Chain A
Amino acid sequence: MNDIKADEKKSFSITKRYLFFSLLFSACGVCLLLVSYFQYKSSSCEKMMNEAVREGEIKIPAAYQAGRWAIYLVKNANLCCHPLLGYEKIKSSDRTRVAIFVSNDYTDNDIENFKDAFQVPAAHRVARLKDFDLMNLKDICGYKAESQYNILMLLKPDSTVELLRRF
């Protein structure tokens, strides 16, 4: 009697185990798919950017062709909830030049307060978005004027886009 019960228990636990492992594997699979999808999406944007640069659709101005550049397009940033992505690290790198383009509705006082809050060094350029000379990238990567997202773009010295991230 006890053996039968033990067998039942064993067979039940094996089924349960199969179910558990199959669920686990499918969850991992979904996660992997999602990760690869987002990676593809972000890299595809960078690829498309680079293709457009190569084909001459986007002309990187000469000012950005010397050295490595970090370009921020800022709609809404603050220290607590929307910090500038990777800015502390970029700030500490001597080789990376930085240009920050804020929304056109930033007043002069807003720009001063922004510089003060983020401790922007004098060498980093802060200007309004209307002065940004690479605006046609928005058509490629879905950066719309009405969106609330900020963008970080890293440009290599050879004028290729190394990274393009929304934050």
Chain B
Amino acid sequence: MQYEAPETTKAAVGLLAKAKGSAYVLAGGSDLLVRMKGGFVEPDLVVDIKRIKPMREIKKTASGFVIGAAVSCAEMNENKALVKAWPGVVEAAGLIGSKQVQSRCTVAGNLCNASPAADSVPALVAAGAKALIQGPKGKRKLPVEQVAVGPGKNALKKGELIEAIELPARKDRSGDAYLRFIPRTEMDIAVVSAGVNLRLDKKGVITEARVALGAVAPTVVLVAAAAKAVIGTKLDEAALAKLGEAASAACKPIDDKRGTIEFRTKVAAVLAKRAAEIAYKRAGGK
């Protein structure tokens, strides 16, 4: 195995593009090293992106935030402006693994790993985040919900890597939230999860909504029907009930060691409703 720690994105792309065998990007390593240890992958090349300066930064821009691909989730949680603007995204990022894992893991890595249960992804999808991708043929932007194409499979082509995640600027009277269900209080993979981002008008009526569910389908799903269920409402009982129904209806889960189809379908509704209530409050709704 060859290990490289280039200092520029260009160099990283170059290494990945000309790699002959299996090549992996190393950000936090909390997925890659586990897979190496288990013998599931045997990389010929590992490209560590943590020495690429721009990838270690969170930039606040006029259009929102640019979170470098090597920024750890702990660092996200220490960025006050980001926490204030996107509390749901930051909380979701903060739920990945332990404090030890937080010191290293990244949302870009969480996204590329393409697990349907990835904690940060439903929140990023609800937020309307985009992945900034660099590759041998230049840059491209992809909505985060299009990065994962199946369990463990992402849309990146040979030589491509995510250099940053772009979050939009926080609009007036809007807020987001993320909740997951795990049997313990920490350290589990989400059995089912929900990210919600809402915008209200001055009267507290929801004008924009995005609802994303995790661990209920092969990839994180953006549930348009769930958003539709709450738009035009003040998130009253009836709207919440419809939101829950839409969330459950969008579930196509499996029975596995972490949960049953029945359980995931029911709890998806519960979490979508609870997350919507938090997001509504954060948006200033009463």
Q: Do A and B come from one complex?
A: no
